[in-house]
Structure 1
Protein backbone atom coordinates (compact mmCIF):
# COMPACT_ATOMS: atom_id res chain seq x y z
CA UNK A 1 0.00 0.00 0.00
CA UNK A 2 2.81 2.41 0.93
CA UNK A 3 4.55 1.66 -2.38
CA UNK A 4 1.50 2.94 -4.29
CA UNK A 5 1.79 6.31 -2.59
CA UNK A 6 5.43 7.00 -3.48
CA UNK A 7 4.66 8.51 -6.94
CA UNK A 8 1.78 10.52 -5.44
CA UNK A 9 4.10 11.90 -2.75
CA UNK A 10 6.55 13.00 -5.45
CA UNK A 11 3.66 14.64 -7.34
CA UNK A 12 2.71 16.51 -4.18
CA UNK A 13 6.28 17.79 -3.97
CA UNK A 14 5.74 19.14 -7.49
CA UNK A 15 2.56 20.86 -6.29
CA UNK A 16 4.33 22.27 -3.24
CA UNK A 17 7.15 23.63 -5.39
CA UNK A 18 4.66 25.19 -7.80
CA UNK A 19 2.68 26.77 -4.96
CA UNK A 20 5.84 28.38 -3.57
CA UNK A 21 6.68 29.57 -7.09
CA UNK A 22 3.25 31.23 -7.37
CA UNK A 23 3.75 33.08 -4.08
CA UNK A 24 7.20 34.25 -5.18
CA UNK A 25 5.90 35.32 -8.61
CA UNK A 26 3.17 37.37 -6.94
CA UNK A 27 5.93 39.08 -4.95
CA UNK A 28 7.80 39.69 -8.22
CA UNK A 29 10.69 37.46 -7.12
CA UNK A 30 10.84 35.90 -10.55
CA UNK A 31 14.29 34.30 -10.28
CA UNK A 32 13.36 32.42 -7.12
CA UNK A 33 10.03 31.50 -8.72
CA UNK A 34 11.95 30.06 -11.68
CA UNK A 35 14.03 27.93 -9.31
CA UNK A 36 10.95 26.41 -7.67
CA UNK A 37 9.28 25.80 -11.02
CA UNK A 38 12.42 23.98 -12.16
CA UNK A 39 12.27 21.93 -8.96
CA UNK A 40 8.60 21.15 -9.61
CA UNK A 41 9.36 20.04 -13.18
CA UNK A 42 12.11 17.79 -11.76
CA UNK A 43 9.56 16.13 -9.46
CA UNK A 44 7.07 15.95 -12.36
CA UNK A 45 9.55 13.90 -14.37
CA UNK A 46 10.31 11.50 -11.55
CA UNK A 47 6.76 10.84 -10.35
CA UNK A 48 5.93 9.19 -13.67
CA UNK A 49 9.25 7.35 -13.68
CA UNK A 50 8.56 6.08 -10.16
CA UNK A 51 5.04 4.96 -11.08
CA UNK A 52 6.31 3.01 -14.09
CA UNK A 53 9.25 1.51 -12.19
CA UNK A 54 7.05 0.38 -9.30
CA UNK A 55 4.20 -0.58 -11.65
CA UNK A 56 1.69 1.42 -9.62
CA UNK A 57 0.13 3.68 -12.26
CA UNK A 58 -3.36 4.78 -11.28
CA UNK A 59 -6.17 7.09 -12.34
CA UNK A 60 -5.66 9.01 -9.09
CA UNK A 61 -2.02 9.57 -9.99
CA UNK A 62 -2.97 10.83 -13.45
CA UNK A 63 -5.45 13.36 -12.09
CA UNK A 64 -3.14 14.47 -9.28
CA UNK A 65 -0.31 14.95 -11.76
CA UNK A 66 -2.43 17.24 -13.93
CA UNK A 67 -3.57 19.27 -10.92
CA UNK A 68 0.04 19.74 -9.83
CA UNK A 69 1.10 20.68 -13.37
CA UNK A 70 -1.72 23.23 -13.51
CA UNK A 71 -0.10 25.12 -10.65
CA UNK A 72 3.58 24.62 -11.46
CA UNK A 73 3.44 24.82 -15.25
CA UNK A 74 0.17 26.70 -15.76
CA UNK A 75 -0.58 29.25 -13.05
CA UNK A 76 3.02 30.18 -12.19
CA UNK A 77 4.12 31.03 -15.77
CA UNK A 78 0.86 32.93 -16.32
CA UNK A 79 1.61 35.14 -13.31
CA UNK A 80 5.18 35.65 -14.55
CA UNK A 81 3.89 36.81 -17.93
CA UNK A 82 1.43 39.07 -16.08
CA UNK A 83 4.31 40.59 -14.09
CA UNK A 84 6.45 41.10 -17.19
CA UNK A 85 3.59 42.93 -18.93
CA UNK A 86 3.22 45.16 -15.88
CA UNK A 87 6.93 45.96 -16.10
CA UNK A 88 6.69 46.51 -19.85
CA UNK A 89 4.16 49.32 -19.41
CA UNK A 90 5.94 50.78 -16.39
CA UNK A 91 3.28 49.88 -13.85
CA UNK A 92 3.81 49.12 -10.19
CA UNK A 93 3.59 45.38 -9.92
CA UNK A 94 0.66 44.20 -7.81
CA UNK A 95 1.13 46.82 -5.10
CA UNK A 96 -1.29 45.89 -2.30
CA UNK A 97 -3.95 48.34 -1.22
CA UNK A 98 -4.26 49.52 2.35
CA UNK A 99 -6.44 47.19 4.43
CA UNK A 100 -10.02 48.40 4.58
CA UNK A 101 -9.88 50.50 1.40
CA UNK A 102 -13.50 50.98 0.34
CA UNK A 103 -13.17 51.69 -3.37
CA UNK A 104 -13.22 48.88 -5.90
CA UNK A 105 -10.32 49.65 -8.19
CA UNK A 106 -7.98 47.42 -10.17
CA UNK A 107 -4.40 48.11 -9.15
CA UNK A 108 -2.82 46.68 -12.30
CA UNK A 109 -2.95 47.60 -16.01
CA UNK A 110 -5.63 45.71 -17.94
CA UNK A 111 -3.12 44.82 -20.64
CA UNK A 112 -1.37 42.55 -18.13
CA UNK A 113 -4.38 40.21 -18.16
CA UNK A 114 -3.17 38.98 -21.56
CA UNK A 115 -0.38 37.19 -19.69
CA UNK A 116 -2.96 34.93 -18.04
CA UNK A 117 -3.73 33.46 -21.46
CA UNK A 118 -0.78 31.19 -20.67
CA UNK A 119 -2.70 29.84 -17.67
CA UNK A 120 -5.93 29.38 -19.64
CA UNK A 121 -4.14 27.62 -22.50
CA UNK A 122 -2.36 25.34 -20.03
CA UNK A 123 -5.63 24.39 -18.31
CA UNK A 124 -7.24 23.51 -21.64
CA UNK A 125 -4.22 21.49 -22.70
CA UNK A 126 -4.11 19.50 -19.43
CA UNK A 127 -7.84 18.78 -19.58
CA UNK A 128 -7.44 17.46 -23.13
CA UNK A 129 -4.46 15.35 -22.06
CA UNK A 130 -6.49 13.57 -19.40
CA UNK A 131 -9.09 12.33 -21.90
CA UNK A 132 -6.77 11.73 -24.87
CA UNK A 133 -5.59 8.13 -25.21
CA UNK A 134 -3.16 9.02 -28.02
CA UNK A 135 -0.58 10.58 -25.68
CA UNK A 136 0.96 7.49 -24.14
CA UNK A 137 4.39 7.52 -25.83
CA UNK A 138 4.34 11.03 -27.33
CA UNK A 139 2.57 14.36 -26.84
CA UNK A 140 -0.05 16.18 -28.89
CA UNK A 141 0.85 19.83 -28.48
CA UNK A 142 3.62 21.37 -26.42
CA UNK A 143 3.76 19.86 -22.89
CA UNK A 144 3.04 22.36 -20.13
CA UNK A 145 6.48 21.91 -18.46
CA UNK A 146 8.21 22.77 -21.75
CA UNK A 147 5.98 25.83 -22.11
CA UNK A 148 6.77 26.85 -18.53
CA UNK A 149 10.49 26.67 -19.34
CA UNK A 150 9.88 28.91 -22.35
CA UNK A 151 8.05 31.52 -20.25
CA UNK A 152 10.44 31.42 -17.30
CA UNK A 153 13.42 31.82 -19.62
CA UNK A 154 12.37 35.46 -20.08
CA UNK A 155 13.11 36.76 -16.54
CA UNK A 156 16.26 34.63 -16.44
CA UNK A 157 17.50 36.15 -19.70
CA UNK A 158 16.61 39.64 -18.49
CA UNK A 159 18.68 39.14 -15.35
CA UNK A 160 21.71 37.33 -16.75
CA UNK A 161 21.91 38.84 -20.27
CA UNK A 162 21.65 42.57 -19.74
CA UNK A 163 22.15 43.72 -23.33
CA UNK A 164 19.93 46.57 -24.49
CA UNK A 165 18.35 44.74 -27.40
CA UNK A 166 17.38 41.81 -25.16
CA UNK A 167 15.69 44.10 -22.62
CA UNK A 168 13.92 46.09 -25.33
CA UNK A 169 12.62 42.92 -26.97
CA UNK A 170 11.44 41.08 -23.88
CA UNK A 171 9.87 44.14 -22.26
CA UNK A 172 7.96 45.04 -25.39
CA UNK A 173 4.27 44.54 -24.53
CA UNK A 174 3.41 43.49 -28.10
CA UNK A 175 6.12 40.81 -27.96
CA UNK A 176 4.81 39.52 -24.62
CA UNK A 177 1.19 39.47 -25.79
CA UNK A 178 2.21 37.73 -29.02
CA UNK A 179 4.18 35.14 -27.06
CA UNK A 180 1.22 34.54 -24.74
CA UNK A 181 -1.04 33.89 -27.73
CA UNK A 182 1.60 31.71 -29.41
CA UNK A 183 1.97 29.78 -26.17
CA UNK A 184 -1.75 28.92 -26.19
CA UNK A 185 -1.52 27.80 -29.81
CA UNK A 186 1.54 25.61 -29.24
CA UNK A 187 0.04 24.02 -26.13
CA UNK A 188 -3.09 22.93 -27.99
CA UNK A 189 -1.80 22.39 -31.53
CA UNK A 190 -2.58 19.02 -33.12
CA UNK A 191 1.11 18.33 -33.59
CA UNK A 192 2.86 15.19 -32.34
CA UNK A 193 5.96 15.85 -30.22
CA UNK A 194 8.26 13.13 -28.93
CA UNK A 195 8.55 12.41 -25.20
CA UNK A 196 11.84 12.02 -23.37
CA UNK A 197 10.89 8.52 -22.26
CA UNK A 198 13.48 5.86 -23.06
CA UNK A 199 11.98 2.40 -23.52
CA UNK A 200 15.54 1.27 -24.20
CA UNK A 201 18.88 3.03 -24.70
CA UNK A 202 19.40 1.92 -28.30
CA UNK A 203 20.97 4.61 -30.48
CA UNK A 204 18.84 3.47 -33.42
CA UNK A 205 15.56 3.91 -31.53
CA UNK A 206 16.50 7.07 -29.66
CA UNK A 207 18.92 8.98 -31.89
CA UNK A 208 16.73 12.09 -31.96
CA UNK A 209 16.47 12.11 -28.17
CA UNK A 210 20.26 11.89 -27.87
CA UNK A 211 20.69 14.64 -30.46
CA UNK A 212 18.22 16.87 -28.65
CA UNK A 213 19.82 16.32 -25.24
CA UNK A 214 23.35 16.84 -26.59
CA UNK A 215 22.45 20.07 -28.41
CA UNK A 216 20.57 21.32 -25.34
CA UNK A 217 23.58 20.77 -23.07
CA UNK A 218 25.95 22.41 -25.57
CA UNK A 219 23.59 25.37 -25.99
CA UNK A 220 23.29 25.88 -22.23
CA UNK A 221 27.07 25.71 -21.77
CA UNK A 222 27.75 28.27 -24.51
CA UNK A 223 24.76 30.61 -24.32
CA UNK A 224 23.44 29.92 -20.79
CA UNK A 225 19.79 30.92 -20.26
CA UNK A 226 19.65 32.60 -23.66
CA UNK A 227 19.61 29.09 -25.11
CA UNK A 228 16.35 28.06 -23.40
CA UNK A 229 13.87 29.50 -25.96
CA UNK A 230 15.90 28.00 -28.80
CA UNK A 231 15.94 24.63 -27.06
CA UNK A 232 12.12 24.64 -26.99
CA UNK A 233 11.98 25.75 -30.64
CA UNK A 234 14.50 23.03 -31.53
CA UNK A 235 12.40 20.46 -29.70
CA UNK A 236 9.36 21.37 -31.78
CA UNK A 237 11.28 21.39 -35.07
CA UNK A 238 13.01 18.08 -34.36
CA UNK A 239 9.66 16.52 -33.46
CA UNK A 240 8.25 17.62 -36.80
CA UNK A 241 11.12 15.81 -38.51
CA UNK A 242 10.61 12.61 -36.54
CA UNK A 243 7.48 10.49 -36.65
CA UNK A 244 7.27 7.91 -33.89
Structure 2
Protein backbone atom coordinates (compact mmCIF):
# COMPACT_ATOMS: atom_id res chain seq x y z
CA UNK A 1 0.00 0.00 0.00
CA UNK A 2 1.46 3.35 -1.02
CA UNK A 3 1.86 6.37 1.24
CA UNK A 4 -0.63 8.30 -0.87
CA UNK A 5 -3.31 5.66 -0.31
CA UNK A 6 -2.65 5.66 3.44
CA UNK A 7 -2.94 9.46 3.62
CA UNK A 8 -6.19 9.33 1.66
CA UNK A 9 -7.66 6.71 3.98
CA UNK A 10 -6.66 8.73 7.05
CA UNK A 11 -8.33 11.81 5.55
CA UNK A 12 -11.62 9.97 4.85
CA UNK A 13 -11.50 8.24 8.24
CA UNK A 14 -12.31 11.59 9.88
CA UNK A 15 -15.57 11.70 7.90
CA UNK A 16 -16.70 8.16 8.78
CA UNK A 17 -20.42 7.89 9.57
CA UNK A 18 -21.32 7.03 13.15
CA UNK A 19 -24.33 4.89 14.05
CA UNK A 20 -26.91 6.18 16.55
CA UNK A 21 -26.81 2.80 18.28
CA UNK A 22 -23.02 2.80 18.51
CA UNK A 23 -22.65 -0.09 16.07
CA UNK A 24 -19.78 -0.07 13.60
CA UNK A 25 -20.64 1.29 10.15
CA UNK A 26 -18.95 -0.53 7.29
CA UNK A 27 -17.87 1.78 4.50
CA UNK A 28 -18.46 0.67 0.92
CA UNK A 29 -14.74 1.25 0.33
CA UNK A 30 -14.08 -1.78 2.53
CA UNK A 31 -16.07 -4.05 0.21
CA UNK A 32 -15.16 -5.60 -3.11
CA UNK A 33 -16.77 -4.49 -6.37
CA UNK A 34 -19.18 -7.44 -6.51
CA UNK A 35 -20.22 -6.99 -2.88
CA UNK A 36 -20.73 -3.25 -3.42
CA UNK A 37 -23.06 -4.00 -6.32
CA UNK A 38 -24.99 -6.53 -4.24
CA UNK A 39 -25.66 -4.22 -1.30
CA UNK A 40 -26.36 -1.10 -3.37
CA UNK A 41 -28.51 -2.67 -6.12
CA UNK A 42 -31.83 -2.25 -4.22
CA UNK A 43 -31.02 1.39 -3.39
CA UNK A 44 -30.12 2.09 -7.02
CA UNK A 45 -33.51 0.72 -8.10
CA UNK A 46 -35.19 2.83 -5.39
CA UNK A 47 -33.40 5.87 -6.80
CA UNK A 48 -34.84 5.08 -10.23
CA UNK A 49 -38.26 4.97 -8.59
CA UNK A 50 -37.64 8.46 -7.18
CA UNK A 51 -36.39 9.71 -10.55
CA UNK A 52 -39.62 8.57 -12.18
CA UNK A 53 -41.69 10.36 -9.55
CA UNK A 54 -39.70 13.58 -9.89
CA UNK A 55 -39.91 13.46 -13.69
CA UNK A 56 -43.66 12.83 -13.44
CA UNK A 57 -44.06 16.04 -11.43
CA UNK A 58 -42.15 18.03 -14.04
CA UNK A 59 -44.17 16.56 -16.92
CA UNK A 60 -47.49 17.14 -15.14
CA UNK A 61 -46.69 20.80 -14.52
CA UNK A 62 -45.98 21.16 -18.23
CA UNK A 63 -49.30 19.66 -19.27
CA UNK A 64 -48.09 16.18 -20.25
CA UNK A 65 -50.59 14.20 -18.16
CA UNK A 66 -50.30 10.93 -20.04
CA UNK A 67 -46.52 10.80 -19.80
CA UNK A 68 -46.69 11.82 -16.15
CA UNK A 69 -49.11 8.95 -15.47
CA UNK A 70 -46.90 6.52 -17.41
CA UNK A 71 -43.90 7.45 -15.25
CA UNK A 72 -45.91 6.78 -12.09
CA UNK A 73 -46.63 3.33 -13.52
CA UNK A 74 -42.89 2.83 -14.12
CA UNK A 75 -42.17 4.00 -10.56
CA UNK A 76 -44.54 1.30 -9.26
CA UNK A 77 -42.57 -1.33 -11.18
CA UNK A 78 -39.29 -0.09 -9.69
CA UNK A 79 -40.87 -0.02 -6.22
CA UNK A 80 -41.85 -3.67 -6.55
CA UNK A 81 -38.46 -4.56 -7.98
CA UNK A 82 -36.31 -2.97 -5.26
CA UNK A 83 -37.96 -5.00 -2.49
CA UNK A 84 -37.81 -8.19 -4.51
CA UNK A 85 -34.12 -7.65 -5.35
CA UNK A 86 -33.30 -6.77 -1.72
CA UNK A 87 -34.84 -10.04 -0.50
CA UNK A 88 -33.26 -12.03 -3.33
CA UNK A 89 -29.68 -10.86 -2.66
CA UNK A 90 -30.10 -10.52 1.12
CA UNK A 91 -29.47 -6.77 1.14
CA UNK A 92 -32.45 -5.57 3.20
CA UNK A 93 -31.31 -2.77 5.52
CA UNK A 94 -32.75 0.04 7.70
CA UNK A 95 -31.22 2.54 5.28
CA UNK A 96 -33.01 0.90 2.37
CA UNK A 97 -36.33 1.03 4.22
CA UNK A 98 -36.00 4.75 4.92
CA UNK A 99 -34.82 5.55 1.38
CA UNK A 100 -37.72 3.56 -0.04
CA UNK A 101 -40.21 5.57 2.05
CA UNK A 102 -38.70 8.89 0.92
CA UNK A 103 -38.80 7.77 -2.71
CA UNK A 104 -42.40 6.61 -2.30
CA UNK A 105 -43.38 9.99 -0.89
CA UNK A 106 -42.08 11.60 -4.08
CA UNK A 107 -43.46 9.04 -6.55
CA UNK A 108 -46.73 8.07 -4.84
CA UNK A 109 -47.36 11.11 -2.66
CA UNK A 110 -46.28 14.23 -4.54
CA UNK A 111 -46.51 13.00 -8.15
CA UNK A 112 -50.17 11.80 -8.04
CA UNK A 113 -51.22 14.96 -6.18
CA UNK A 114 -49.62 17.21 -8.81
CA UNK A 115 -51.04 15.04 -11.59
CA UNK A 116 -54.61 15.40 -10.30
CA UNK A 117 -54.12 19.13 -9.69
CA UNK A 118 -52.84 19.85 -13.18
CA UNK A 119 -55.15 17.37 -14.90
CA UNK A 120 -58.59 18.80 -14.17
CA UNK A 121 -58.56 21.02 -11.10
CA UNK A 122 -56.81 24.32 -12.06
CA UNK A 123 -60.24 25.92 -12.56
CA UNK A 124 -60.97 25.32 -8.86
CA UNK A 125 -57.78 26.58 -7.17
CA UNK A 126 -58.82 26.31 -3.51
CA UNK A 127 -60.37 22.89 -3.94
CA UNK A 128 -57.39 21.83 -6.02
CA UNK A 129 -54.97 22.80 -3.27
CA UNK A 130 -57.04 21.09 -0.56
CA UNK A 131 -57.43 17.82 -2.46
CA UNK A 132 -53.79 17.69 -3.57
CA UNK A 133 -52.49 18.45 -0.09
CA UNK A 134 -54.84 15.87 1.43
CA UNK A 135 -53.28 13.25 -0.80
CA UNK A 136 -49.71 14.24 0.11
CA UNK A 137 -50.52 14.35 3.84
CA UNK A 138 -52.24 10.96 3.83
CA UNK A 139 -49.41 9.39 1.84
CA UNK A 140 -46.83 10.79 4.29
CA UNK A 141 -48.85 9.53 7.26
CA UNK A 142 -49.23 6.11 5.64
CA UNK A 143 -45.49 5.77 4.99
CA UNK A 144 -44.49 7.02 8.45
CA UNK A 145 -46.94 4.63 10.12
CA UNK A 146 -45.66 1.74 8.01
CA UNK A 147 -42.07 2.35 9.15
CA UNK A 148 -43.08 2.81 12.77
CA UNK A 149 -45.34 -0.22 13.09
CA UNK A 150 -43.17 -2.87 11.44
CA UNK A 151 -43.80 -6.03 13.47
CA UNK A 152 -41.72 -9.17 12.71
CA UNK A 153 -44.53 -11.32 14.15
CA UNK A 154 -47.26 -9.67 12.06
CA UNK A 155 -48.95 -11.52 9.20
CA UNK A 156 -46.91 -10.59 6.12
CA UNK A 157 -49.79 -11.50 3.83
CA UNK A 158 -51.55 -8.23 4.60
CA UNK A 159 -50.94 -4.49 4.64
CA UNK A 160 -52.70 -2.22 7.11
CA UNK A 161 -54.24 0.44 4.93
CA UNK A 162 -54.01 0.81 1.17
CA UNK A 163 -50.33 0.80 0.08
CA UNK A 164 -49.30 4.14 -1.41
CA UNK A 165 -48.25 2.59 -4.79
CA UNK A 166 -51.74 1.08 -5.11
CA UNK A 167 -53.31 4.45 -4.31
CA UNK A 168 -51.14 6.11 -6.93
CA UNK A 169 -52.15 3.38 -9.39
CA UNK A 170 -55.80 4.42 -9.00
CA UNK A 171 -54.94 8.00 -10.00
CA UNK A 172 -52.58 6.94 -12.76
CA UNK A 173 -54.93 4.37 -14.29
CA UNK A 174 -57.92 6.73 -14.19
CA UNK A 175 -55.98 9.44 -16.01
CA UNK A 176 -54.82 6.96 -18.65
CA UNK A 177 -58.30 5.48 -19.08
CA UNK A 178 -60.21 8.78 -19.35
CA UNK A 179 -57.62 10.27 -21.69
CA UNK A 180 -57.51 7.22 -23.97
CA UNK A 181 -59.06 7.63 -27.47
CA UNK A 182 -61.64 4.88 -26.91
CA UNK A 183 -63.11 6.58 -23.86
CA UNK A 184 -62.77 10.08 -25.32
CA UNK A 185 -64.83 9.02 -28.37
CA UNK A 186 -67.68 8.07 -26.03
CA UNK A 187 -67.74 11.60 -24.66
CA UNK A 188 -66.67 10.50 -21.19
CA UNK A 189 -64.31 13.03 -19.70
CA UNK A 190 -63.13 14.23 -16.31
CA UNK A 191 -65.53 16.25 -14.19
CA UNK A 192 -65.06 17.73 -10.76
CA UNK A 193 -66.53 14.58 -9.19
CA UNK A 194 -64.03 12.18 -10.77
CA UNK A 195 -60.84 13.82 -9.46
CA UNK A 196 -62.46 14.25 -6.05
CA UNK A 197 -63.31 10.55 -5.86
CA UNK A 198 -59.94 9.28 -7.06
CA UNK A 199 -58.17 11.62 -4.62
CA UNK A 200 -60.26 11.48 -1.44
CA UNK A 201 -61.24 7.80 -1.41
CA UNK A 202 -57.75 6.29 -1.93
CA UNK A 203 -56.27 8.89 0.44
CA UNK A 204 -58.70 7.81 3.15
CA UNK A 205 -57.98 4.13 2.45
CA UNK A 206 -54.23 4.76 2.84
CA UNK A 207 -54.65 6.01 6.43
CA UNK A 208 -57.36 3.49 7.33
CA UNK A 209 -56.76 0.20 9.16
CA UNK A 210 -58.46 -1.88 6.45
CA UNK A 211 -56.44 -4.96 5.46
CA UNK A 212 -55.16 -5.31 1.91
CA UNK A 213 -53.41 -8.41 0.61
CA UNK A 214 -49.70 -8.00 -0.03
CA UNK A 215 -49.50 -10.85 -2.58
CA UNK A 216 -45.85 -11.38 -1.66
CA UNK A 217 -46.25 -15.05 -2.59
CA UNK A 218 -46.60 -13.89 -6.19
CA UNK A 219 -43.28 -12.03 -6.00
CA UNK A 220 -41.41 -14.83 -4.24
CA UNK A 221 -43.03 -18.13 -5.29
CA UNK A 222 -41.71 -21.13 -3.34
CA UNK A 223 -43.53 -24.07 -4.96
CA UNK A 224 -43.97 -25.18 -8.58
CA UNK A 225 -47.68 -24.35 -8.36
CA UNK A 226 -46.93 -20.85 -7.04
CA UNK A 227 -44.39 -20.30 -9.81
CA UNK A 228 -46.94 -21.36 -12.41
CA UNK A 229 -49.53 -18.94 -10.98
CA UNK A 230 -46.98 -16.11 -10.88
CA UNK A 231 -45.97 -16.80 -14.48
CA UNK A 232 -49.60 -16.86 -15.63
CA UNK A 233 -50.41 -13.58 -13.85
CA UNK A 234 -47.33 -11.85 -15.26
CA UNK A 235 -48.06 -13.11 -18.76
CA UNK A 236 -51.69 -11.94 -18.57
CA UNK A 237 -50.68 -8.48 -17.36
CA UNK A 238 -47.93 -8.11 -19.97
CA UNK A 239 -50.27 -9.17 -22.80
CA UNK A 240 -52.90 -6.77 -21.50
CA UNK A 241 -50.41 -3.91 -21.34
CA UNK A 242 -49.35 -4.58 -24.92
CA UNK A 243 -52.90 -4.87 -26.31
CA UNK A 244 -54.70 -2.20 -24.25
CA UNK A 245 -52.51 -0.57 -21.58
CA UNK A 246 -55.09 1.93 -20.33
CA UNK A 247 -57.79 -0.68 -19.70
CA UNK A 248 -55.33 -3.14 -18.15
CA UNK A 249 -53.93 -0.69 -15.63
CA UNK A 250 -57.45 0.48 -14.80
CA UNK A 251 -58.72 -3.06 -14.16
CA UNK A 252 -55.67 -4.11 -12.13
CA UNK A 253 -55.71 -0.97 -9.94
CA UNK A 254 -59.43 -1.01 -9.17
CA UNK A 255 -59.58 -4.79 -8.70
CA UNK A 256 -56.82 -4.54 -6.08
CA UNK A 257 -58.74 -1.85 -4.19
CA UNK A 258 -61.84 -4.06 -4.30
CA UNK A 259 -59.98 -7.02 -2.78
CA UNK A 260 -60.42 -5.49 0.69
CA UNK A 261 -64.25 -5.23 0.80
CA UNK A 262 -64.65 -8.47 -1.17
CA UNK A 263 -62.28 -10.18 1.27
CA UNK A 264 -64.38 -9.06 4.23
CA UNK A 265 -67.62 -10.19 2.61
CA UNK A 266 -66.25 -13.58 1.55
CA UNK A 267 -64.37 -14.30 4.80
CA UNK A 268 -67.09 -16.51 6.41
CA UNK A 269 -67.36 -18.66 3.28
CA UNK A 270 -63.60 -18.97 2.84
CA UNK A 271 -63.17 -19.84 6.52
CA UNK A 272 -65.74 -22.62 6.19
CA UNK A 273 -64.29 -24.02 2.95
CA UNK A 274 -60.53 -23.52 3.39
CA UNK A 275 -59.99 -23.02 7.13
CA UNK A 276 -58.65 -20.21 9.29
CA UNK A 277 -55.48 -19.79 7.22
CA UNK A 278 -57.53 -18.46 4.31
CA UNK A 279 -58.71 -15.34 6.19
CA UNK A 280 -56.91 -12.48 7.87
CA UNK A 281 -56.09 -13.09 11.54
CA UNK A 282 -57.57 -10.79 14.21
CA UNK A 283 -55.81 -7.45 14.47
CA UNK A 284 -53.65 -6.92 17.55
CA UNK A 285 -54.08 -3.64 19.39
CA UNK A 286 -50.93 -1.54 18.94
CA UNK A 287 -49.58 1.55 20.63
CA UNK A 288 -50.65 4.83 19.04
CA UNK A 289 -48.11 6.24 16.60
CA UNK A 290 -48.57 9.67 18.21
CA UNK A 291 -47.41 8.55 21.68
CA UNK A 292 -43.76 8.25 22.77
CA UNK A 293 -42.19 4.83 22.90
CA UNK A 294 -42.70 2.91 26.12
CA UNK A 295 -39.91 3.72 28.55
CA UNK A 296 -38.74 6.76 26.60
CA UNK A 297 -39.49 9.14 29.48
CA UNK A 298 -37.41 7.05 31.85
CA UNK A 299 -34.49 7.10 29.42
CA UNK A 300 -34.77 10.87 29.02
CA UNK A 301 -34.82 11.31 32.80
CA UNK A 302 -31.79 9.09 33.16
CA UNK A 303 -29.94 11.09 30.51
CA UNK A 304 -30.80 14.30 32.35
CA UNK A 305 -29.42 12.95 35.63
CA UNK A 306 -26.22 11.91 33.89
CA UNK A 307 -25.80 15.34 32.33
CA UNK A 308 -26.19 17.04 35.73
TM-score normalised to structure 1 length: 0.78
Q: State the Cα deviation string for residues 152-191 of structure 1 (Å, max 9, x = none).
A: 1222123212134521xxx221332233211111112212
Corresponding position of 1:129:
146
Q: What is the alpha-carbon distance in structure 2 between the residues aligned to residue 13 and residue 76 of structure 1?
A: 14
Bigger shift: residues 30-39 or 64-73: 30-39
Bigger shift: residues 217-226 or 202-211: 202-211
SS of 1:166's equivalent?
coil
Corresponding position of 1:147:
167
Higher relative contact order (CA 8 A, sep 6+): 1
1:159-198 equivalence runs, <5 A: 159-160=179-180, 161-167=183-189, 171-198=190-217
Q: What is the alpha-carbon distance in structure 2 between the residues aligned to residue 24 and residue 191 of structure 1?
A: 33
Q: State the Cα deviation string for residues 10-62 of structure 1 (Å, max 9, x = none).
A: 11111111111111111121111122222221211111111111112111100
Corresponding position of 1:69:
104
| Cα gap change, 1:212 to 1:115, in 2 (>3 Å) | farther
SS of 2:188's equivalent?
helix
| Cα gap change, 1:234 to 1:21, in 2 (>3 Å) | same
Q: Which runs of 5+ in 2 are unaligned?
A: 1-30, 267-277, 281-308
- Alpha-carbon RMSD across the aligned residues, in angstroms, is 2.8
8 A contact 1:85–1:111 mirrored in 2: no
| Cα gap change, 1:26 to 1:57, in 2 (>3 Å) | same
Q: Does 1:226 align with 2:247?
A: yes
Corresponding position of 1:13:
48
8 A contact 1:142–1:186 mirrored in 2: yes
- 1:84 is displaced (CA, Å) by 2.6
Number of aligned residue pairs: give it. Answer: 222
Q: What is the alpha-carbon distance in structure 2 between the residues aligned to residue 188 and residue 73 of structure 1?
A: 14
8 A contact 1:70–1:123 mirrored in 2: yes
Q: What is the alpha-carbon distance in structure 2 between the residues aligned to residue 215 and residue 188 of structure 1?
A: 31
- 1:68 is displaced (CA, Å) by 0.3
Q: State the Cα deviation string for residues 119-163 of structure 1 (Å, max 9, x = none).
A: 221111111111122474421111111111110122212321213
| Cα gap change, 1:115 to 1:135, in 2 (>3 Å) | farther
8 A contact 1:141–1:193 mirrored in 2: yes
Q: What is the alpha-carbon distance in structure 1 between the residues aligned to residue 230 and residue 130 of structure 2?
A: 34
